[in-house]
Chain A
Amino acid sequence: MSHTFTLDGKTIPFEDGQTIIQAASKAGVFIPHLCYHPEFKPHGSCKLCTVKVNGRQTASCTMRASAGMVVENNTEELNAERRALTQMLFVEGNHFCPSCETSGNCQLQATAYHLGMMSPHYDHFFPSRPVDASHPEVLLDFNRCILCSLCVRASRDVDGKNVFALSGRGIKTHLIVNARSGNLADTNFTLKDKAAQVCPVGVILVKRNGFAVPIGERRYDNVPIGDSLETATEGR
């Protein structure tokens, strides 16, 4: 059976079991998000997709839609909070967009633009995160990891491999790979893995491919995030 809820005053139909973000994107409404991807089980960790449901904040990628809900999304208050979250992600890792080969294809960068983030605001943490260049075809630059766990879910649920996982706790949470050496080269990861395609930022990089498309002509250079729903929800 189909029911409806309202999103910023607009009536949105939904099917039983659908989350708010699923119903919204089906109806062509963009809700900023980073850890959500339509093909995977939601994680609910980045909190970018937070909306107000009947006055209470909640993540729209994990909250099921229910009939008659009153949802706020594109408000100055929520966007300011989302902007602060993107700033937090920028200072937590080492994101130097001008020298990053994902610039223009990066969902974090695009979302920050979308939300009007002008500066990182907070003091940088400058964590030390060595890169893993062991694999012949893929480089892992952990400096940019936002811990969204998309690669974890893709490798586990689609590739059936468990190449990636999160370890550590709190601010020391970090990505690990499935090898005693800790090197990607010693795992059964391949370029064909779904996990090779899902990173929303610039961690999982195909070698010798970086600037094949020049900066300025890339995905979000052409169509800013949120302007086209496809850009917002598809993988890279």
Chain B
Amino acid sequence: MALSEMHAEAVAGIVDRVATRYKRDPVNMLQILREVQEACDWLPPEAIDRLQTVLGVPRTKIEGVAGFYSFLYTEPRGKYRILFSDNIIDRMAGSQPLIERLCENLWIEPGKTSEDGLVSVDVTSCTGMCDQGPALLVNNRAITRLTATRIDEIAELVRNKTPLSEWPADFFKVEDHVRMADIMLGSTMQPGDGLRAARERTPSDGYMASNMRSWREGLPSGISGPSAMLDEIKRANLRGRGGAGFATGLKWEACRNAQMKPGQQRFVVCNADEGEPGTFKDRVLLTAHADLVFEGMTVAAYTIGARRGFLYLRGEYHYLLEPLNAILERRRKENMLGNDILGIPGADFEIEIHLGAGAYVCGEESALIESLEGKRGTPRNRPPFPVTNGYLDQPTIVNNVETFAAAALIALNGGDWYAAIGTKHSAGTKILSVSGDCERPGVYEYPFGVSIRQVLEDCGAKDTQAVQVSGPSGICVGVDEFDRTIGFEDIPTAGAFMMFDQTRDMFEVARNFVHFFQHESCGFCTPCRVGTSLLKNLMDKLHNGHGSPYDFAEIEKLNQLLQAMSHCGLGHTACNPVLDTIAKFRPAYDQRMEHDEFKPAFDLDRALSEARQMTRRDDPGAHITGHNVALGEEA
């Protein structure tokens, strides 16, 4: 047999094994592609050939999905695929020289695969390790606390082709860094307590029957048991922690009341995509309090009458898959999942974990559902909303990890208890992912209403110039605003809290965020697909010293267009970091401005840099400046 045939046969064997485990169902395509790649290092054409047959779907569909996700490769990217986290916080911690060092060490260029096919080094969006950066992923395993020494060790391990399983365990250690705990991070709730309490909220008259029917069919309000639980969530005034702050009780109620056709069911989805740069609190919750999260999902299932649930875990947190599955297994054994949960007849609920593959937009709830269905992560047209037409067009609630954890606490302690914590319109606590210029980065849990100044004090931040709250899509807060507070009344947040001291260049912060949005735009709609690239080009133009006030007007226009015309929140917020920093840190922009009017982006001298590199020349004669030619100047 020819070598290529052997290869094709081996690949087909892998595809068959993986696909069979996923019931050969195209709805699991993303999971199948991900696992095939884990075995083959990439997705060779032979794998796609075989998938076409095994899943019975056209090649275009498979390639369309494979082409969407950053962590799926249809071209070889090496046995070791190294991706440095490229958030501004990683950069401030010195990631860039480390990337150069590793590349020099391995004799490769960033973004390219080594000629022997051994290794590639590239960058990726924030991997959620800002409190212990710089960080990288090697074949989707996280390595934190990078130093020059560690980089050299990594280069050595790669050169020696040491299997990842034999790399020092210490490399892969991820710290929780819980610095401030309140009701959630300090919870000692035992698995099952929340569920039992929820069940006991039912008046004794006939709770069995009502629970059974409600769980299976999700009855409209008026039935005790689940509806009693819904009332607690509403009384708690719980609002979503994923950013938008939608009232959780209303969402659950809408799903519970949604009409279903025969054969349909309801779904509970936990959004653990945590893609917003600078956010890592869901990672800590899933590490230290996974039971609280799963319990919250089960309480939700009980309340709305769902039998299946998903945890959509970002690909960057692949290392959490095994421990989380072990916890699910334990909960099954303890009858907290499966059939007749805690002995309640008809109380059936199962949770599956699906992994993402490097796409921030999949945190948007309708894109997340598309991704769960094994498709490209493109946000859907809404209405209809997921509560009526979600997973496989059936009623679905999508909530953030922290929202579910809060729901478990509410089940245990009641809505009034919860509503008394925090402020009037922002009940409960909020976990902040604190990183950047401070002494003690990590997670901090506060009752809502805490001031920026308080957080800065607690984490040991000095000479702070600005705080980016809620990530690139959030807001940039300057010194004169540090008395503002965290909460839906003032500064809402999905959790990120990135600090920049006086030595930092806020223009470069904004530019990093713009690059992030450009990289993560899904490309579905014109304004965001093209607009984020135009914005990136404008920021790069300013960075290269070719800015003019004209460009500010252009940025303002782009912002209006993206806010008005974009299809989803990514496009709506993509200009925020630039507008905020222009408004608050104008000098950072002005110092880049050499011209008062207009300056073209095209730079003749820069355009020649490739030629200079090829000819290895850098003498004055190889440069074109404004002095020796007039072309570079504005026409």
Q: A interface vs B, CB < 8 Å? A: 42, 44-48, 50, 57, 59, 62, 64, 81, 84-85, 88-89, 91-92, 122-123, 125, 146-147, 162-173, 176-180
Contacts and interface: CB of A to CB of B under 8 A. Distances in A.
B63 A165 contact: yes
Contacts of A91: 530
B63 A57 contact: no
A47 B567 contact: yes
A169 B389 CA distance: 25
Contacts of A62: 381
B60 A172 contact: no
B574 to A, nearest CB: 11
A236 to B, nearest CB: 21
A37 to B, nearest CB: 16
A75 B196 CA distance: 59
A122 B532 CA distance: 13
B565 A57 contact: yes
Given A122-B534, A170-B518, A50 B565 contact: yes
B526 A162 contact: no
Contacts of A123: 537, 601-602
15 contacts: A50-B565, A59-B567, A64-B383, A88-B530, A123-B602, A162-B58, A165-B60, A165-B61, A166-B376, A167-B60, A168-B67, A170-B533, A171-B530, A171-B533, A178-B59
Contacts of B60: 162-165, 167, 176-178
Contact of B525 (A47, A92, A165, A177): A47
A47 B565 contact: yes
Contacts of A84: 557, 561
Contacts of B527: 47, 85, 88
Contact of A167 (B63, B521, B533): B63
A11 to B, nearest CB: 24
A42 B45 CA distance: 32
A180 B69 CA distance: 20
Which bucket holds chain B's interface residue count?
Answer: 35 or more
B212 to A, nearest CB: 36
A44 B524 CA distance: 9
Contacts of B526: 45-48, 85, 88-89, 146
Nearest to B57: A162
Interface string B465-497: 000000000000000000000000000000000
Contacts of A177: 60
B553 to A, nearest CB: 12
B519 interface: yes
Nearest to A167: B67
Given A45-B524, A45-B567, A170-B532, A162 B518 contact: no
A107 to B, nearest CB: 14
Given A81-B564, A88-B534, A171-B523, 12 more contacts: A44-B381, A46-B525, A47-B567, A64-B383, A92-B530, A146-B526, A168-B67, A169-B67, A170-B518, A170-B520, A170-B533, A171-B533
Given A81-B564, A167-B64, A177-B60, A45 B557 contact: no
Interface in B423-450: none
Interface string B273-291: 0000000000000000000
Interface in B43-59: 45, 48-49, 58-59
A46 B529 CA distance: 10
